[in-house]
Amino acid sequence: MDISFENVAYTYQPKTPFEHRAIHDLSFQVSSGTFVAIVGHTGSGKSTLIQHLNGLLRPTQGQVTIGDYQLSSDKKLKEMKELRRRVGVVFQYPEHQLFEETVAKDIAFGPANFGVDQAEIKKRTYEVIQAVQIPEDLLERSPFDLSGGQMRRVAIAGVLAMEPEVLVLDEPTAGLDPRGQKDIMDMFYRLHQEKNLTTVLVTHSMEDALHYADHVIILDHGTKYMEGKPAEVFVKKEELNKVQLDLPEVIQFIFKVEEKFGFRLTYRGQELSELAQELKELIRGADNHE
């Protein structure tokens, strides 16, 4: 589903001493099927933004359009439930939302709320546990007996079982070990491609944003600071430093090379090791010419 924000603003607790403007004048467009990363410093309004995507918050100004659904301050959306089924949100530390007696029941909770019948739920349960790599024999265990990483996977499975068309991920890898982080991100990327999802990833990790996203939106103090293709955005060193964001490792490497050798490698999505290889050949080539 296409997502569009038009001059969106959201203020928490308006007209009280605790009034807080979380986002303002925010406009952007994401077309269906895009993998978009939202990057920003703590307090830049990322979490507030994603709560607009499934109608948990309604903008206090402006308009949010997701597919055929429109959210604005003046009217309530009648098809809220439908919107929530089609936009699945994986919150930060999703394992905190587990509550059922068994893993299977917890995964079934979302779809059951949206009126999916038992047979279909069963079918989906087996599909999603395969996607998140949870062995079948855990299905009848209590989710509270599992390890942290497994709990996270079960919670993600619970969202995937709703078969959403838009997947919103709020730092889905926070607190996992490096291996688990890569596994989970690769899984989301695979699902994104297989199911033709529109994916919105909120992340602190420049590496992930560079590696997986088609489009990057950088937020600062509640509004859009920059947007564009990752390879174009992440080479703007000065602009990024201004909002306390680091460059991804690969890009840092390119800048270091430029500093040291005086020429610039072009970034086309290579891994660090591939870049090193290129550099080696370039230097050797230069030597041979002499």
Partner 1 sequence: MNNAFIIGQYIPGESIIHRLDPRTKITIIFFFVIIVFFANSIASYGLLTVFSIGSALATRIKLSYIIKGLTPVWFLIIFTFILHLVVTREGDVLFELLSFPVYSGAVAQGSAISLRFFLLILVTSLLTLTTSPIEITDAIESLLHPLKRIKFPVHELALMMSISLRFIPTLMQETEKISKAQASRGVDFKTGPIKERLQAIVPLLVPLFVSAFKRAEELAMAMEARGYQGGEGRTKLRELKIKPIDIVTFGIFCLIIIGLYLTRT
Residues making contact with partner 1 (CB under 8 A): 12-13, 16-17, 51, 54, 56, 81, 84-85, 88-89, 91, 94, 96-99, 109-110, 113-114, 144, 158-159, 162
- Whole-number Å distance between alpha carbons of 31 and 238: 29
Characterise 93 by phi-psi region: left (phi > 0), alpha (psi -120 to 50), beta (else): left
Cα angle: 184, vertex 185, 190; to 5 degrees: 100
**Closest separation between CB of residue 17 and partner 1, Å?**
5
Q: What is the DSSP letter of 255?
A: H
Give the Cβ contact number of residue 73 at 10 Å.
Answer: 13
**Closest separation between CB of residue 146 and partner 1, Å?**
13
Q: Given the complex with partner 1, which of 8 and 108 has the nearer CB atom?
A: 108
**Closest separation between CB of residue 20 and partner 1, Å?**
11
Q: Are the CB atoms for 101 and 180 separated by under 8 Å?
A: no
The residue type at 26: L
Q: Given the complex with partner 1, which of 147 and 273 has the nearer CB atom?
A: 147
Closest CA to 234 of 251, 256, 213, 215: 251
Q: Are the CB atoms for 9 and 36 separated by under 8 Å?
A: no
- Whole-number Å distance between alpha carbons of 66 and 31: 10
Q: Given the complex with partner 1, which of 53 and 233 has the nearer CB atom?
A: 53
Q: Given the complex with partner 1, which of 4 and 47 has the nearer CB atom?
A: 47
**Closest separation between CB of residue 238 and partner 1, Å?**
36
Q: Given the complex with partner 1, which of 78 and 268 has the nearer CB atom?
A: 78
Q: Given the complex with partner 1, which of 126 and 144 has the nearer CB atom?
A: 144
- Whole-number Å distance between alpha carbons of 221 and 66: 24
**Closest separation between CB of residue 14 and partner 1, Å?**
9
The residue written with tokens 């840092």 in the block is 252
**Closest separation between CB of residue 237 and partner 1, Å?**
35
Q: Are the CB atoms for 36 and 217 separated by under 8 Å?
A: yes
Q: Are the CB atoms for 56 and 44 separated by under 8 Å?
A: no
Phi, psi values for residue 207, rounded to 5°? -60, -50
Q: Given the complex with partner 1, which of 158 and 222 has the nearer CB atom?
A: 158
**Closest separation between CB of residue 10 and partner 1, Å?**
12
